[in-house]
Structures are given as C-alpha cells and as structure tokens.
C-alpha cells in the first residue's frame, strides 16, 4: 500500500507534482561561528521550482506562484515531518519572485529555503550519523521525483 505524504497526496502524487513543476533541491552545511571557530550546526535545504510561465502575467501568475510556494511548504512538512522531534526546520523569508541560476540555464524559478538544526540546541555540532541522515533524506527527495541541483 502506498504511504500518504499529506492528506489527499500520495508519494506518487508528490512525484507527479515534482515532475510537472520541475522541482529541484540543494542541501548544504549550516555553519555558525562559536568562540571564534566555525562549527556546522545543521543543514540548509533549498527547493527550486519552475516559474509557472503558463499562467498569464499579472494576478493569475502571482496566484500560481503563491500556490506553488504553498505546495513546496506542504511537501517539506510532509516529507520531513517524521524528523521533527530530533530536528527543527525554520523557513527563511522567500526571496525575490524569480531566481535565475546558471546551473539551470538561467530559466526563471522560485525558491524556498530552510535552516535545519537540532531541536534542543541550535549551536550543537552535527555528528557523523546526522550527515548520513541527510544523505538518506536526499535519496528520499530523489525517490519522490525531485532532482538534485537542477533539471
């Protein structure tokens, strides 16, 4: 039986959503300076999705962008929800309406980013096992249809 990621959305639904919207992800280290030394305290996760150019410019496209951002938030919540007791994810404020990345041939995208760190202590250093957890999480994102880096 297929596991539900969100009420009304199965993993297959999320995979279709990721493909239709050309959703990609990047994960990296979250580094802070503590007592003059750099310490990795967590990870960053950024999702990118193709700007919905099929919607007419103006209010319709803005509504489509808003819906896509909400879907991106829901996706991360659904996929990362099982880790919420061990880690905390805080979404950064949304950036500009469009992002143009060289690695995606400067095609317009929207993006949302999260900082992921220990739930109990922000400045706690990341352990080797947690880096392995990130690798498993990245594989899960790929299994759900997201591309690592770009489409």
Q: List pLDDT tens digits, range 50-101.
A: 999 999 999 999 999 999 999 999 999 888 765 556 788 899 988 777 899 9
Q: How does the average pLDDT of the chain come out, rounded? A: 88
DSSP 133: H
Q: Where are the domains of the chain?
A: 4-148
Residues 6+ apart with CB under 8 A from 10: 2, 3, 4
State the Cα–Cα distance between residues 142 and 11, nearest whole angstrom: 12
Which residues, 6 or more positions from 68, have their beta carbon under 8 angstroms from its beta carbon?
21, 49, 52, 110
Contact 115, 89 (CB under 8 A): yes
27-41, 56-70, 86-100, 132-146: least confidently modelled range: 86-100
Which of the four pLDDT bands, split at 50, 70 and 90, describes residue 5?
very low
What pTM value is reported for the model?
Answer: 0.87
How many angstroms from the chain centroid is the CA of residue 103? 17
């Amino acid at each position: 039986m297929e596991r539900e990621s969100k009420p009304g959305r199965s993993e297959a639904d999320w995979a279709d959503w990721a493909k239709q919207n050309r959703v990609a992800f990047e994960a990296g280290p979250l580094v802070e300076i503590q007592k003059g030394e750099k310490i990795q305290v967590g990870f960053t996760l950024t999702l990118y999705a193709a700007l919905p150019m099929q919607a007419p410019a103006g209010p319709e496209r803005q509504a489509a962008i808003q819906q896509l951002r909400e879907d991106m938030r829901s996706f991360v919540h659904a996929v990362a929800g099982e880790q919420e007791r061990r880690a905390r994810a805080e979404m950064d404020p949304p950036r500009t309406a469009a992002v143009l990345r060289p690695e995606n041939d400067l095609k317009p995208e929207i993006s949302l980013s999260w900082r992921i760190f220990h739930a109990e202590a922000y400045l706690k250093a990341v352990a080797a096992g947690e880096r392995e957890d990130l690798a498993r999480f990245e594989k899960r994102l790929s299994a759900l249809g997201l591309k690592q880096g770009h489409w």
